[in-house]
Structure formats: C-alpha cells, structure tokens
C-alpha cells in the first residue's frame, strides 16, 4: 500500500513517496505489485520522487512502476507527468489526479443522472 492516501476534490489519490538516490528511483517488489494490480483494475496512483541534490520533484504515473524501478530519472520521460519544485507538488498532484480520473470516467462512459444523486423523498 502506498505511503499516502488523500481525497482531493472527490478524487481518491494514492501516492508513493520516494527520495531519488544516485539519480535513480527505487521501488520494492511489493510497491511494484500494488501499483501494477491497482492500475490493472483501472485505479489511479502516483509516484512522487524528490531529488534533494537537484531540488526537483518528479510525479510519475503509478502504472509504470515496473519501468520506474531502478531507472534513471532522465530515462523515464514516458511515465513522467510533471516536474517542478517541492512547493508546487501538491497542486500538480491534484491536477494530475483530477485529469486521470476524468479521462478514466470518459473512457468508461460512466454517467450518473442528477436524479440518482438526489435524496429520495419519503
């Protein structure tokens, strides 16, 4: 299970927090398994990696956890969703989460009628 769970504007956000060492992101087998199985079930998750020497923060799609494991950050452009400073990371995570969930809902073509949400009269 990831380090962080939040609900941002109604969107569930699962996020693994990592420190980049020697230019590489390292994930355990259990972290890879969790993100991979979550992604196979159409779940949305992220890996947020901080490079303390460079000062940059990288946000990756958790579906790419197997590819991310042990890779150099510069080789992970296909999984990279955002790069910036630590102060901007929460806003970027929120934006990416909402975009991911919106895209998933469009793909699934899920529509909830307003009447289904309204409280039932007794």
For residue range 7-16, list pLDDT tens digits in order: 988 888 999 9
Report the chain's mean pLDDT, rounded to a whole number.
Answer: 89
Q: What proportion of the chain, given as a percentage, has pLDDT over 90?
A: 70
For the chain, the domains span 4-91+101-117
Q: Taking Cα atoms as reference points, which of 39, 85, 82, 94 lies closest to residue 62?
A: 39
Check residues 78 and 69 and name the one with the higher pLDDT. 69
pLDDT at 88: 95
**Architecture (CATH level 2) of domain 4-91+101-117:** 3-Layer(aba) Sandwich (3.40)
> What is the pTM assigned to this prediction?
0.83
pLDDT higher than 60, residue 118: no
CA–CA distance, 28 with 47 (Å, rounded to integer): 12
Q: Which residues pair with 4 in a beta bridge?
A: 15
Token pair 């109604």 is found at: 10
For residue range 81-108, list pLDDT tens digits in order: 999 999 999 999 999 999 988 887 777 6
pLDDT higher than 60, residue 110: no
């Amino acid at each position: 299970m990831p380090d962080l769970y939040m609900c941002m504007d109604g969107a569930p956000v699962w996020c693994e927090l990592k420190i980049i060492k020697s230019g590489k992101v390292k994930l355990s087998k259990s972290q890879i398994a969790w993100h991979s199985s979550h992604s196979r079930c159409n779940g949305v998750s992220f890996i947020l990696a901080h490079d303390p020497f460079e000062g940059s923060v990288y946000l990756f799609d958790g579906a790419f956890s197997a590819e991310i494991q042990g890779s150099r950050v510069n080789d992970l452009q296909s999984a990279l969703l955002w790069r910036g400073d630590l102060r901007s990371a929460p806003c970027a995570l929120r934006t990416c989460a909402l975009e991911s969930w919106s895209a998933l809902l469009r793909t699934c073509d899920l529509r909830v009628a307003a009447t289904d949400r309204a409280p039932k009269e007794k």
